[in-house]
Amino acid sequence: MLTIQNLTFGYNGTGKLFSDLSLNLEKGNIYGLLGRNGAGKTTLLKVASGLLYAHKGHVSFKGLDVSMRQPKFLADVYIIPEEFQLPDFRAMEYVSMFSPFYPKFDKKRMNELLLEMEVDKSKKLNSLSYGQKKKFIIAFAVATNCSLVVMDEPTNGLDIPSKSKFRRIIASSIDENRSYLISTHQVRDLESLIDPVVMIENGNIIFNERMDTIASRLSFVNTTKDDVPEGKAFHKEPIFGGEYMVTENNSGIESPVDFELLFNAVLSNQNEIVEHLKA
């Protein structure tokens, strides 16, 4: 669906942010993009959406060069940036104005989502709280039925019940012809949602794995001095009374995945973890 080949990019005066970066997104997935502050997550989302242009390399969506921003591309990709502005419109005025740009837009679904997300349609969008604005734009993105929806920190500003609704809405909207690319620091908000997991560090994709592979090949376990797990430990973090570990999974049973621990483990021991998962 989306192919990034040998991408080189950098902002003026700051050197190269990406050098020879490649990534392929397939249909029917909810990709989670993880990385430290400054790793380039937001920039990569903008490049993928055609908002920034590669200095070298090629980015294509369904065979279209995204830098050309052709109408066929713009009508099938939607991006929610972390910071955004909404105009002095009510919800359905906004829908009437902007939905024609998206041929697959579903107004009935939009109304259902606004009701589920408890967005007040009678108020001007620019008068809503940040959380309400975020819920509105998420609803609009889902209702576009675009083949690719890109989201930068979508759960920022959402309260706990709204985060739960967000997960449910995204999970129910995915199908074999649609994908999401979601960048987040709030990994616990999305642990039950994203698959595959993609990590970026120092301008490179250092990890790109499906959840079933992670859960079947790695274990995430709390241990004490008297309870040392079998198998090699790839990463350890101290906790009260023991350690929290990422180890080999030799049980034949899939382990619940802790995204924070996985992220820290990959940063500290990328090569051994990746080699183990590929073995």
* 206-220: pLDDT as tens digits: 999 999 999 999 999
The DSSP bridge partners found for residue 34 are 199
Q: Which two tokens stand for residue 35?
A: 């990385």
What confidence tier does 274 reach under pLDDT thresholds 50, 70, 90? very high
Domains of the chain: 2-209 (3.40.50.300), 211-278 (no CATH)
Q: What is the DSSP string of 26-90?
A: -TT-EEEEEE-TTSSHHHHHHHHTTSS--SEEEEEETTEEGGG--HHHHTTEEEE-SS----S-B
Residue 39: pLDDT over 80: yes
**Tell me: the pLDDT tens digits for 177-190?**
999 999 988 888 88
Instruction: Give the pLDDT score at 15.
Output: 64
The greatest distance separating any two alpha carbons of the chain, rounded to the nearest whole angstrom, comes to 64
Residue pair 25/34 in contact by the 8 Å Cβ criterion: no
Residue pair 106/146 in contact by the 8 Å Cβ criterion: no
Q: Which two tokens stand for residue 238?
A: 């101290």
Instruction: Give the pLDDT score at 150.
Output: 97
User: Rounded to an integer, what distance in angstroms lies between the CA atom of residue 132 and that of residue 117?
Assistant: 8
Instruction: Give the pLDDT score at 132.
Output: 96
Residue 13: pLDDT over 60: no
Instruction: Give the pLDDT score at 243.
Output: 86
Residue 124: pLDDT over 70: yes
**Tell me: the pLDDT tens digits for 67-108?**
999 999 999 999 999 999 999 999 999 999 999 999 999 999
Instruction: Give the pLDDT score at 4.
Output: 95
Residue pair 199/187 in contact by the 8 Å Cβ criterion: no
